[in-house]
Chain A
């Protein structure tokens, strides 16, 4: 087993405590319901006996550690409880809506990386130039913009004033039929059956929400890319490379860029944390039928099982994303290269 494989396994093990912590916290959150949960779930017309029945049925009459064991057992079996308002299993609803959220988040991430990384690098290479000032301005403005506000302004400008964007209501205009589900990503699914028109429709719906989310994550990424690139460019190995007569392109992209990407990958964890939160707000603004708007709808009707299921699902997703980032870091880091 090479050192790199060992490191990857070690990182995977390191994610376990976080996972355990997440499960414990979400167990606490489900038991913290104001008042008596059994009375709450029994409804307003409940009698003493029906509350006691529900308490027994929910396992609330057991001591806490036993309740926790049952909770973990249910989780392992993929059971997050039933939604109070619809009676449907929470897991089913979450998995049905997850692709919509992922499509939005991933598109936004690609978009913001495609803008932020070149901009940060250019700002560092041409320090003090106009691009550096543009970068600095965008970074400061970007962290101050409330995501939901950006979204609304974009809707006003591009839908109401210019008429370029379709109405901000979901993933696909009603004139199109949603494509048969393969990946759950409408654009890919539509292209798979060769329906370019529907794919374009999906893209048009996606542009505004994805841009909103991308604007939000642009700032930390560009700031980190610039700082990391500046640090890389001022280090000894770059001086050596320059002294050895390497071309500027080779120095910047061959040496500095590779090393500067490490801290940027580390920042991605924080970026994801912000992004999964901002996702909820963006989904509400654009009526995007993802898991975020599911949670918001559940909150409005006090459907706690659905909300806690959503929180747990997001947390597990986040732990997994962090694990992927850690593994990516290990693979990119030149110091762990084998042989």
Chain B
């Protein structure tokens, strides 16, 4: 990814970009923390089953509803399952849902947005209407409707999350391609005999990627929240599968009687993941686009 990063104005060699990235990281320790958190989350997602001390599905009535202890760091739930193990295992599923959804909506959104930005005209008008129609719905509510219509499965949660994220990518791609469509380098590429599709795909699009990467990272947090929200209201993931949203939903029934650990730990995990992606997005923006630094 970093190979495509040097933007048109920076004539400096690759080294300059790395130095700049390191400078931004050292200037803003929060960004460094975000990168570290992100690494931890990815590791847990990959190694979850190895790290988990107990079987996440194994119930044991004898140790039901125990508060956090040395044996069970996050306590046990109403069926005696280890909450810590379940929170770890759930990382993979939650990340899988949101990464797949964001990847899908990035691919589709970037394609239609780039086409609209490059060619304009009727393509722009049609895709613009399409995107506006999605945005005319409260997005989470639209996701509920899509899952209800397509059937209540994990795949459909992914499609629904992808559809409601689509407008953001389409709009960023359209704007970023549009301002570059007649830039010097694009005209040069056209003059040397590239077709429109080649100019768009190999010359303009790579330059529009950095701002889209920022959008991806900021969206990822939102995608996780949405997917977890959908499973919180009982869509997609079915018990006894471990997933943060459904674990919070199941734990909610016990909070009123004081068994807080059932809901709080998966909730904290969810919050940490979203927080990490949001900070990461801010950090990436600082690295790629110094003008927008806050």
Residues of A within 8 A of B (CB): 17-19, 21-22, 24-26, 28-30, 32-34, 140-141, 143-149, 152-153, 155-156, 159-160, 167-168, 272-278, 280-281, 284-285, 295-296, 299-300, 302, 304, 307-308, 310-311, 314-315, 318-319, 322
Question: Contact: A277 with B232, CB < 8 Å?
Answer: no
- B103 adjacent to chain A (CB < 8 Å): no
* B235 cross-chain contacts in A, Cβ below 8 A: 299
Closest Cβ–Cβ distance, residue B159 to chain A (whole Å) = 11
What 10 pairs across the A-B complex have the smallest Cβ distances?
Answer: A277-B140, A21-B133, A311-B145, A149-B267, A276-B138, A144-B275, A32-B149, A18-B136, A307-B148, A29-B149
Is B270 in contact with chain A by the CB < 8 A criterion?
Answer: yes
Chain B: which residue is nearest A151 at the CB level?
A: B252
Bound-state CA distance A296–B232 (Å) is 10
Please determine whether B132 and A18 come into contact, CB atoms closer than 8 angstroms. Answer: yes
Seen from chain B, the residues whose Cβ lies within 8 Å of a Cβ on chain A are: 129, 132-133, 135-142, 144-146, 148-152, 221, 225, 228-229, 232-235, 245, 248-249, 251-252, 255-258, 260, 263-264, 267, 270-271, 274-275, 278-279
| A168–B256 CB distance below 8 A | yes
Q: Are B263 and A152 in contact (CB under 8 A)?
A: yes
Name the A residues within 8 Å of B264 (CB-CB): 152-153, 156
Are A315 and B248 in touch, CB under 8 angstroms? Answer: no
B221 contact set on A, CB distance < 8 A: 143-144
Interface class of chain A by DSSP: helix
B129 A281 Cβ-Cβ under 8 A: no
Residue of A nearest to B270 (CB): A146
A149 and chain B: residue at smallest CB distance: B267
Residue among A17, A25, A152 facing the most chain B CB atoms (10 A cut-off): A152
> A158: shortest Cβ distance to chain B, in Å?
11
Given contacts A22-B133, A25-B133, A168-B256, contact A280 B150 (CB under 8 A): no
A148 in contact with B232 (CB, 8 Å): yes
Contact between chains at A146 and B145 (CB < 8 Å): no
B145 in contact with A307 (CB, 8 Å):
yes
Whether A21 contacts B136 in the complex (CB less than 8 A), given A33-B149, A280-B144, A308-B145, comes out as: yes
Name the residue on A nearest B233 (C-beta).
Answer: A296
Give the complex CA separation of A103 and B209 in angstroms. Answer: 43
- Flag if B136 contacts A281 (CB, 8 Å): no
What is the chain B residue whose CB lies nearest that of A30? Answer: B149
Q: Find out whether the CB atom of A146 lies under 8 angstroms from the CB atom of B229.
A: yes
Contacts of B225 in A (CB 8 A): 146
Q: List 24 A-B contacts (CB under 8 A).
A: A17-B129, A17-B132, A21-B129, A25-B142, A30-B149, A144-B278, A146-B225, A146-B232, A146-B248, A148-B245, A148-B252, A149-B263, A152-B264, A152-B267, A153-B267, A155-B256, A159-B256, A167-B256, A276-B141, A281-B233, A285-B252, A304-B148, A311-B137, A311-B148
Contact between B278 and A299 (Cβ–Cβ < 8 Å)? Answer: no
For B218, give the chain A residue with the smallest CB separation.
A143
Q: Which residues of A contact B137 (CB under 8 A)?
A: 22, 25, 273, 311, 314-315, 318
Bound Cα distance A19, B145 (Å)? 17
Chain A residues with CB under 8 Å of B228's CB are 146
Q: Which of A140, A148, A156, A307 contacts B248 (CB 8 A)?
A: A148
Contacts of A18 in B (CB 8 A): 132-133, 136
Question: Which residue on B lies nearest to A309, using beta carbons?
Answer: B145
| Given known A18-B133, A34-B151, A280-B233, contact A149–B270 (CB-CB < 8 A) | yes
